[in-house]
Amino acid sequence: MMMDGRRHSVDIPISRTLIALRRVRSLRDPSTNSMSKFSALLENANWETNSTNEISLQFMGGCQQGGSDHNGLASLKNSGLNGKREEEVDDFEMRCDFGKSKTQLNSCENSGRVEKVGAPIRTKKLEGLDNCALNQEDVHGNKSLRERYCSNHRDKGWELACVTPLSNCLEDVDSTNELILGSPIVECMDQSMSRKKSQYKSQVKSSGMVGDVLSRLGSPCLSVSDALSSHSISFLANEEADLMIPNDPGCGISCCWTRTPRFRESNPFSDAEGRPLLFKDVAETASFGQRSWKLIANETPRSFSQKFRPKSFDELVGQNVVTKSLLNAISKGRITSLYIFHGPRGTGKTSASRIFAAALNCLSLEEFKPCCLCRECVLFFSGRIRDVKEIDSVRINRAERIRSLIKNASIPPVSSRFKVFIIDECHLLHGETWATILNSLENFSQHSVFVMITPDLEKLPRSAVTRSQRYHFPKIKDADIATRLGNICVEEGIDFDLVALDFIAAKSNGSLRDAEMMLDQLSLLGKRITMSLAYELIGVVSDDELLDLLDLALSSDTSNTVIRARDLMRSRIDPMQLVTQLANLIMDILAGKCEEDSSEIRRKFSRSHASETDMQRLSHALKILSETEKQLRMSKNQSTWLTVALLQLSSLETPSLNANDPKSSLRNAHDRDGDFCSTSSTEESLKLLFPCSCEDSKSHKLGMQGDCKATLESIWKGATELCQSNSLKNFLRKQGKLSSLCVNRDMAVAELEFHHPDYVSKAEKSWKMIASSLQLILGRNVEIRINLNAAEITITNGMQKQLRLF
């Protein structure tokens, strides 16, 4: 949501401060809490910009409320913009000269020191009784922790000053007492935006359009006292303005006009249709599906992703190409009527569409837009702009609604430069809806812009794609995500381990929203964000990673299967969970669900595993996995057996994994304490084959009988695959085999068999490599025994070499 506030507890955005000038409470009679006492003041206020680009607010004579004649004047200016050095640009001054109206506004005089939440504020200037100045600077400490993340939050100061205006500014007061203002220059520097000072250092220049828009604002009224006490200042006053709350976490700007705004032309549509975009999803209006929004500025953000939604292009992480190109399009005036923003979820498409809409209407003459400061931006960020609409794609599938929308788009904007229609999830538009829109493109007002958003370009009609300007939002790099998370942690005062943030970033699959949501959840635990905490909460693997693993396993890429599986299980997922997820995924694929899924990796996987044999292999894999799942419940060596099971997925020879089959490869290795199952007869035969280690009741063993053979073959194949030397690999495959395996909690004993004494000695020479490969697959120390008939050589990896004879 564009209006999501941020840093409300740390920084005070100047924009919010300015808006708070309108707060009605400050203008109320303290004894009665009534506004009436000051109504004349409101009616007689006048704003103007003078030649030095200062905005002036003048309280005209004749108002005799409160024992004063209110000839006082106030103006706003950015002291840094009139030839000051760049370092000073951040300083935004407010000086007040209210003349006789100081009775109402006398708290200016008390502004010698103002506390800002989370950071001390220092007052630079205090200009006598009639003037006040507030200059606050952040004094962030604790730099060391923040250095990596706080580049955006370096110390900034701001100064707000009201200065006596020079001229008579009243140009017009219309019949409804609305003020028509001259061309003011709004200059303010939000702390949160101060890093953009190079872009923002110059103000919104005075222009007819600025004046035009300002003229639609109601009577402004000024109070500083309340503003200071609540760390915010407002421009205007009316009853609604009281919605502003001191800890308002919104974007910092709230629009609460005293009068109904006048527009260039009356809105030809119903109120509902013309309702402006306000960035808070609450209810829906009856019109073509446009959402009705509440002033988000008054609401507490419910999540980090709401709170930290980017509000300008430079806050958009990892989308530099898009940003640059959109900004260039605006600065060169090359705006087309149809844009498509596409790319994976949570990468900033919706945010960018809103920023784009704001930038299109921004009045700043600077290249970097939106400035967030001009009146159009103020309107936009307060959600009061009438010409930007966010439309529910499902709802406009109805004929009358799309007609209404098209009609609306054919008419020039109400008050802004561009009418922007943002249609999220546009792949849900029906073909006819698309056709109507595309056929009407020519008839749209030159100033109507459609921004369509979808995660999947391929689902859109070709004709739409070819007639639009497309912007791809790629997945966000893990490093960028981790940095962003770090910034959020610093801002929210959350302790964290870097590695945990990296982990969250890796888990979020390029979606910053997912990452922020995970962080949000973890932060609720109220502890330091650590790896183990993250693992506890997130221990699942994305579909894409699962598909990757499955692909490796099915393609007999033993080494990578083992490496990937071990990697996942080491830190990221419990083997039980992994096997369940894999089985579910295969079921989805077999059920054809991948066709509907938007993931490219899934579609690719489906395409490359579409043959009959592939389907058989997949159902075979499913059988193995479902059987493995049962076995793992009873096993203490879950990761080993899951790895072994994965190595069997590529084979089409289905080992009998029937739970009732005593020879089942995995089942028949059950030991007495339930680690692996076997019938007593199988156990006997295993002992016979491999008498020494399996006496340990905690171990389980696979022998050469029945279907154990297939498992042993898979493991042997995997192990040989992992040998780096090709000649050794070929030799072991051809001449040797794994004749039995006994695994207990700490180690495994593998029995190898060769047909010739020379082979035995050759294998013996390479025992380390063989043992290492088996070790990798089995995930524990491995003792190997190399047999030739009655001869057996025992070699313990990493320990001394031993020859044992029966």
Ligand X SMILES: Nc1ncnc2c1ncn2[C@@H]1O[C@H](COP(=O)(O)OP(=O)(O)OP(=O)(O)O)[C@@H](O)[C@H]1O
Under the rule (CB under 6 A), what is the footprint of ligand X? Answer: 305, 308-310, 316-319, 345-351, 455, 473, 476, 512-513, 516
Cβ at position 235, least distance to Zn ion in Å: 16
Mutual angle of helices 757-765 and 767-778, in 10-degree steps: 70
Q: Which does 518 bind (CB under 5 to 8 A by kind): ligand X, Zn ion, none?
A: none
364 binds Zn ion (CB under 5 A): yes
User: Taking CB under 5 A as the rule, which mask of x and - marks residues 433-472 in contact with Zn ion?
Assistant: ----------------------------------------
Which residue, 338 or 476, is less far from ligand X as judged by CB? 476
Q: Which does 184 bind (CB under 5 to 8 A by kind): ligand X, Zn ion, none?
A: none
Residues 640 to 699 in contact with Zn ion, rule: CB under 5 A: none
Q: Which does 318 bind (CB under 5 to 8 A by kind): Zn ion, ligand X, none?
A: ligand X
Cβ at position 666, least distance to ligand X in Å: 41
Query: For the sheet containing 419-424, what is the strand order?
Result: 388-392, 419-424, 448-454, 338-342, 469-472
Which residue, 372 or 742, is less far from Zn ion as judged by CB? 372
Which residue, 155 or 314, is less far from ligand X as judged by CB? 314
Which residue, 351 or 599, is less far from ligand X as judged by CB? 351
Which residue, 349 or 663, is less far from ligand X as judged by CB? 349
Q: Which does 513 bind (CB under 5 to 8 A by kind): Zn ion, ligand X, none?
A: ligand X
Beta bridge pairs of residue 76: 55, 162
The three-state secondary structure class of 759 is helix
Q: Which does 699 bind (CB under 5 to 8 A by kind): ligand X, Zn ion, none?
A: none
Contacts of 379 (CB under 8 A, 6+ apart): 213, 255, 385, 416
Q: Locate 334 and state its tokens.
A: 């090359």
Considering only residues 362, 578, 642, 793, which one is a binding residue for Zn ion as defined by CB under 5 A?
362
Contact 781, 750 (CB under 8 A): no
Cβ at position 52, least distance to ligand X in Å: 37
> Which of 134, 96, 100 lies closest to 115, judged by CA?
134
Taking contact as CB under 5 A, which single stretch among the options 226-234, 360-368, 401-409, 434-442 is the one that binds Zn ion? 360-368
Which residue, 301 or 718, is less far from ligand X as judged by CB? 301
Considering only residues 63, 377, 409, 554, which one is a binding residue for Zn ion as defined by CB under 5 A?
377
Cβ at position 206, least distance to Zn ion in Å: 13
Cβ at position 371, least distance to Zn ion in Å: 4
Contact 748, 783 (CB under 8 A): yes
Cβ at position 363, least distance to Zn ion in Å: 5
Mutual angle of helices 638-648 and 575-590, in 10-degree steps: 30
State which amino acid sits at residue 459.
Answer: K
Q: Which does 370 bind (CB under 5 to 8 A by kind): Zn ion, ligand X, none?
A: Zn ion
Give, as one character, the DSSP assignment of residue 21.
B
Considering only residues 218, 370, 455, 703, which one is a binding residue for Zn ion as defined by CB under 5 A?
370
Residue 410: CB atoms within 10 Å: 14
Cβ at position 425, least distance to ligand X in Å: 7
Q: Which does 351 bind (CB under 5 to 8 A by kind): ligand X, Zn ion, none?
A: ligand X
On the question of a cis peptide bond just before residue 370, with omega within 30 degrees of 0, the verdict is yes
Per 3-state DSSP, the chain is made up of helix, strand and coil in percentages (nearest 5) of: 45, 15, 40
Q: Which does 309 bind (CB under 5 to 8 A by kind): Zn ion, ligand X, none?
A: ligand X
374 binds Zn ion (CB under 5 A): yes
Burial (Cβ within 10 Å: 0-12, 13-18, ≥19) of residue 571: middle
Residue 43 phi, psi (nearest 5): -65, -25
Rounded Cα–Cα distance for residues 669 and 685 (Å) = 11
298 binds Zn ion (CB under 5 A): no
Cβ at position 354, least distance to ligand X in Å: 8
Q: Which does 362 bind (CB under 5 to 8 A by kind): Zn ion, ligand X, none?
A: Zn ion
Which residue, 456 or 764, is less far from ligand X as judged by CB? 456
Rounded Cα–Cα distance for residues 20 and 297 (Å) = 12
Q: Which does 308 bind (CB under 5 to 8 A by kind): Zn ion, ligand X, none?
A: ligand X
Which residue, 228 or 374, is less far from Zn ion as judged by CB? 374
Give me the DSSP letters along 310-364: --SGGGSTT-HHHHHHHHHHHHTT---SEEEEE-STTSSHHHHHHHHHHHHH---
The length of the chain in residues reads 806
Which residue, 56 or 454, is less far from ligand X as judged by CB? 454
Give me the DSSP letters along 576-596: HHHHHHHHHHHHHHHTTGGGT
Question: How many CA atoms, within 13 angstroms, populate the side-chain half-sphere of residue 763?
Answer: 31
**Pair type for strands 338-342 and 469-472:** parallel
Which residue, 151 or 616, is less far from ligand X as judged by CB? 151
Which residue, 112 or 474, is less far from ligand X as judged by CB? 474
Please identify the residue of the shown chain whose CB is closest to the bound ligand X: 348
- Identify how many contiguous H helices and E strands the chain contains and give both numbers: 30, 25
Cβ at position 453, least distance to ligand X in Å: 6
Q: Which does 326 bind (CB under 5 to 8 A by kind): Zn ion, ligand X, none?
A: none
Cβ at position 375, least distance to ligand X in Å: 25
Taking contact as CB under 5 A, which single stretch among the options 55-63, 256-264, 369-377, 780-788 is the one that binds Zn ion? 369-377
213 binds Zn ion (CB under 5 A): no
251 binds Zn ion (CB under 5 A): no
Q: Locate 681 and state its tokens.
A: 């007869």
Cβ at position 116, least distance to ligand X in Å: 24
Cβ at position 189, least distance to ligand X in Å: 22
371 binds Zn ion (CB under 5 A): yes
Taking contact as CB under 5 A, which single stretch among the options 368-376, 383-391, 598-606, 651-659 is the one that binds Zn ion? 368-376
Alpha helices in 670-723 (DSSP H): 680-689, 708-722
Cβ at position 485, least distance to ligand X in Å: 11
Q: Which does 254 bind (CB under 5 to 8 A by kind): Zn ion, ligand X, none?
A: none
Cβ at position 239, least distance to ligand X in Å: 32
Rounded Cα–Cα distance for residues 593 and 602 (Å) = 10
The three-state secondary structure class of 754 is strand
- Residues 523-547: b if buried by 16+ CB within 10 A, e if exposed: beeeeebbbebbbebbebbbbebbb
Cβ at position 242, least distance to ligand X in Å: 28
Which residue, 290 or 323, is less far from Zn ion as judged by CB? 323
Question: How many CA atoms, within 13 angstroms, populate the side-chain half-sphere of residue 736?
Answer: 32
Rounded Cα–Cα distance for residues 148 and 156 (Å) = 17
Taking contact as CB under 5 A, which single stretch among the options 22-30, 274-282, 375-383, 613-621 is the one that binds Zn ion? 375-383
Q: Which does 290 bind (CB under 5 to 8 A by kind): ligand X, Zn ion, none?
A: none
Q: Locate 53 and state its tokens.
A: 């680009």
- The count of residues interacting with Zn ion (CB under 5 A) is 6
Taking contact as CB under 5 A, which single stretch among the options 376-384, 411-419, 453-461, 485-493 is the one that binds Zn ion? 376-384
Cβ at position 146, least distance to ligand X in Å: 19
Give me the DSSP letters along 513-560: HHHHHHHHHHHHTTS-B-HHHHHHHH----HHHHHHHHHHHHTT-HHH
| Sites of contact with Zn ion (CB under 5 A) | 362, 364, 370-371, 374, 377
